[in-house]
């Protein structure tokens, strides 16, 4: 199963009878799936269909879906409401003998609310049903194109994430081979520190210092962290190979990577090992940022 990004864009167009329409879909990152649909008044039945179809093929992302439709013969007609006009003229006539005022002009009369009515063309039920069916098919087409674009983006992200795992593996091997974490190197550093302490005062117990040094050496060992990092790398590669909506699981592993690398850095008492740990932190952050885009 292919990987999918959460970002994408698609359009589709269609014509049905006197209607011409267009769908525009845009998706961005989100924690869950959220379809935000905008349709003109009178076409609300498309909303339920669009939400159902989006839920069948998408797992995550905020989807902005805009539907625009025009009717070729939708020429509105203008007519005068004779009853309202007669009532206005009657009132004007009664006022003419009572006040000194200019007789009402045509444009003044037409400007009175209700005198002029805009009449929309009557719709045809059969044409409307056919338009709804055609618009639904066009939504399916746009959704298919959106999914295809998200998968192309997902394929590119999968390659990038694979590269990040290659870098993590290289740095983990570098940390594994660091001379500063070899037992003899650790013992040598601790021996120097113990000798320096004994030279400054004769109040220190050499045996007790040696025991404390051994405990410190055990706590400074990053063998366990390196093993977990290797396990996480293997899990990421396996998930990428299987594909599907794995964004949340990879985000969890990014947090685990971050914790293990931080522990490696805190335990390190060697400059080279610390620098390697800092490089690993940078790679983990790059990995986490890319994972945020995956479905």
Structural domains of the chain sorted by starting position, each given as residue range(s) with its CATH number in brackets: 8-72+128-151 (3.30.230), 77-119 (no CATH), 153-291 (1.20.140)
Predicted local distance difference test score (pLDDT) of residue 125: 83
> Looking at the predicted structure, is the pLDDT value of residue 209 above 60?
no
Considering only CA atoms, which of 237, 260, 256, 250 is closest in space to residue 291? 250
The two tokens of residue 187 are: 């013992």
CA distance 295 to 291: 9
Condensed to tens digits (0 to 9), the pLDDT of residues 111-162 reads: 787 777 766 566 678 888 999 999 999 999 999 999 999 999 999 999 999 9
Asked if 209 and 197 count as a contact pair (C-beta separation under 8 A), the reply is yes
For 220-236, the pLDDT digits (tens) are 577 889 999 999 999 99
pLDDT of the residue at 207: 61
Give the pLDDT confidence score for residue 91 in this predicted structure: 74
pLDDT reported for residue 274? 86
The answer to whether 96 and 53 are in contact (CB under 8 A) is no
Mean pLDDT across 181-202: 61
Most confident of 35-44, 92-101, 207-216, 260-269: 35-44
10 Å Cβ neighbour count for 165?
20
Position with higher pLDDT, 113 vs 260: 260
């Amino acid at each position: 199963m292919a990987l999918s990004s959460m970002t994408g864009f698609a359009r589709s167009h269609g014509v049905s009878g006197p209607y011409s329409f267009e769908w525009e879909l845009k998706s961005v990152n989100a924690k869950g799936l959220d379809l935000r649909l905008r349709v003109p008044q009178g076409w609300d039945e498309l909303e339920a269909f669009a939400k159902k179809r989006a839920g069948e093929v998408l797992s995550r992302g905020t989807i902005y879906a805009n539907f625009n439709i025009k009717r070729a013969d939708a020429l509105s007609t203008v007519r005068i409401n004779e009853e309202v006009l007669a009532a206005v003229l009657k009132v004007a006539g009664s006022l003419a003998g009572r006040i000194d005022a200019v007789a009402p002009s045509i444009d003044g009369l037409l400007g009175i609310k209700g005198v002029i009515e805009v009449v929309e063309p009557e719709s045809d039920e059969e044409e409307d049903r056919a338009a709804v069916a055609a618009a639904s098919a066009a939504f399916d087409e746009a959704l298919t194109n959106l999914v295809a674009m998200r998968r192309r983006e997902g394929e590119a992200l999968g390659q990038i994430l694979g590269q990040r795992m290659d870098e993590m593996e290289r740095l983990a091997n570098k940390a594994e081979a660091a001379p500063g974490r070899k037992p003899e190197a650790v013992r040598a550093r601790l021996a120097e520190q113990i000798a320096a302490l004994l030279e400054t005062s004769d109040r220190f117990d050499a045996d007790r210092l040696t025991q404390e040094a051994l405990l410190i050496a055990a706590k400074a060992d990053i063998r366990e962290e390196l093993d977990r990092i290797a396990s996480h790398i293997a899990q990421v590669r396996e998930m990428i190979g299987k594909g599907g909506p794995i964004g949340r699981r990879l985000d969890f592993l990014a947090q685990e990577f971050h914790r293990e690398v931080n522990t490696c850095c805190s335990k390190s008492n060697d400059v080279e090992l610390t620098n390697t740990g800092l490089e690993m932190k940078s790679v983990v952050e790059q990995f986490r940022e890319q994972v945020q885009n995956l479905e």
